Chains A and B, each alone.
Chain A
Amino acid sequence: MEKIAEGLSCSSKVEIAGEIVYVKTIEDVIELFDKADGKICIVDDAGITTLGPILSELCATVCTTGGAGSHLAIVSREFGLPCIMSARFSTSNLSALQGKKAKIAHNGQDRGFLYLID
């Protein structure tokens, strides 16, 4: 397993595995509704205000900015979805991660990790 990101674990501490989607706009979010089953959403600071309600079964979010006080983190906690904020990625090409299988884990305190799995 390759660790590709680490950040602040702001919500549920469950480990989940899923397929990565890189989401940038509200249109992307709406496109995902009803298809979000098993998806891990990566978002960066562009257009993130539209992503508050990005939630469906098994969705988790990994955001390159933000903190525990962000609306996204608050809403993730309400829906019990894992949420990693201020995530530092080992790659700058986030679009290339689209469709890859990944897993989210936590260290039991406040760190969260994203791994690529085969």
Chain B
Amino acid sequence: MKFIKFITDTKPNPNKLGSKASNLIKLFQAGIRVPSGFIIDIKSYKYFLSKTKLKRKLKELFSKGYLAQDIIDLSKKVKSLILASELPKRISANIKRAYIKGLTEFGKKPNFAVRSSSNFEDLKDFSFAGQAESFLNNKEIDNILNSVKKCWASIFSPQSLLYLLQLKKKKNFEISPLKLETGVIIQEMINAQVSGVLFTANVTNNNLEQILINSTWGLGETITNSSIIPDSIILNKSEFEVLKIDIGEKAKMSIPDNDTSSVILINTNEQLREKCSLTNLQLKQLYELAIRIEKLFNYPQDIEWAIEEERVYILQSRPITTIK
């Protein structure tokens, strides 16, 4: 199917699919559980830009570079242009076909997470962490199609444009947002009871013999976007041993809201706040996955995971960019 690749039957290819998608495929091929889904390749984004004539408009907008004070307006302009443009029929038709194929394979009607997978994120030196956006819990095909455009538009989000300015200023690494390209990953939404991030080295003290986990109730975005204080657990790496548990307040939880096809933030009840979000068994499962995944990529990894009814799903894995 043109523009679309299913995770289960394609080869990893960061240039065609973006690094996040490529790493998911590698994980799947190694027998690690990832949410089922498909990828809209980077070519689709380029095709969209040329078919809608946006490529030329964007070139004009960015022809003179930009300053920090221009970012909000510039970002708004680009986002409006992208959202107002119609998806080329060839792309939307194939997404619809893939969506229906996906539903048939799943055997049920899940909601979908729509996430960016760019060719610049998740590299060894620059993570671009948090710059490209994800859109969760999309219920119908129309929500999905709109979220695809929102992913494309997130290349030009204020935080993304600001990050590029900072790379130029602090790291002498110059790249135009016009050179950034993104694929889009569409996967079944995991209705996680517990989610989090796992580093296969302790990034706070550079200890390569430890594993560091941040964990919380509900969806993991509350950790990555810093809206709560998560549980923090340190494990020994050479063999499974829990070295330290710091219970975080976890004051809010992000959960899917099926009425609005989005996610909502609710207050966590008192009992859950005081409880560690991971059991010893789950810690052991995460430990074993961590060792496997680090071996697979042959480099310390920053891993996002989610647990739904005792099944651990890996949502993302990328190199730790700051290990010495």
CA A66 – CA B321 in complex, angstroms?
A: 19
Q: Evaluate contact between B163 and A77: CB separation under 8 angstroms.
A: no
* Closest B residue, CB atoms, query A26: B158
Known A68-B232, A74-B129: A110·B205 in contact at CB below 8 Å: yes
Q: A56 CB to closest chain B CB, in angstroms?
A: 7
Known A30-B158, A50-B159: A85·B226 in contact at CB below 8 Å: yes
Q: Evaluate contact between B204 and A8: CB separation under 8 angstroms.
A: yes
Known A53-B131, A66-B223, A67-B232: A10·B203 in contact at CB below 8 Å: yes
Pick from B94-102, B165-173, B289-297 the stretch touching chain A: B165-173
**B183 part of interface (Cβ distance < 8 Å):** no
Q: Enumerate chain A residues within 8 angstroms of B205, measured Cβ to Cβ.
A: 109-110
Q: B305 CB to closest chain A CB, in angstroms?
A: 11
Restricting to B160-211, which residues have a CB under 8 Å from any CB of A?
Answer: 162-163, 165-166, 169-171, 196-199, 203-205
Contact with A along B209-225 (1 / 0, CB 8 A): 00010100000000111
**A34 part of interface (Cβ distance < 8 Å):** yes
B contact set with A: CB distance below 8 Å: 68-69, 71-72, 125-127, 129-131, 158-159, 162-163, 165-166, 169-171, 196-199, 203-205, 212, 214, 223-230, 232, 248, 302, 321-322
Known A10-B204, A86-B248, A110-B204: A65·B131 in contact at CB below 8 Å: no
Q: Enumerate chain A residues within 8 angstroms of B126, measured Cβ to Cβ.
A: 78
Q: B302 CB to closest chain A CB, in angstroms?
A: 7
Q: Enumerate chain A residues within 8 angstroms of B214, measured Cβ to Cβ.
A: 67-70
**A72 part of interface (Cβ distance < 8 Å):** yes
Q: Enumerate chain B residues within 8 angstroms of A57, measured Cβ to Cβ.
A: 170
Known A69-B224, A70-B224, A71-B129: A86·B170 in contact at CB below 8 Å: no
Q: A29 CB to closest chain B CB, in angstroms?
A: 7
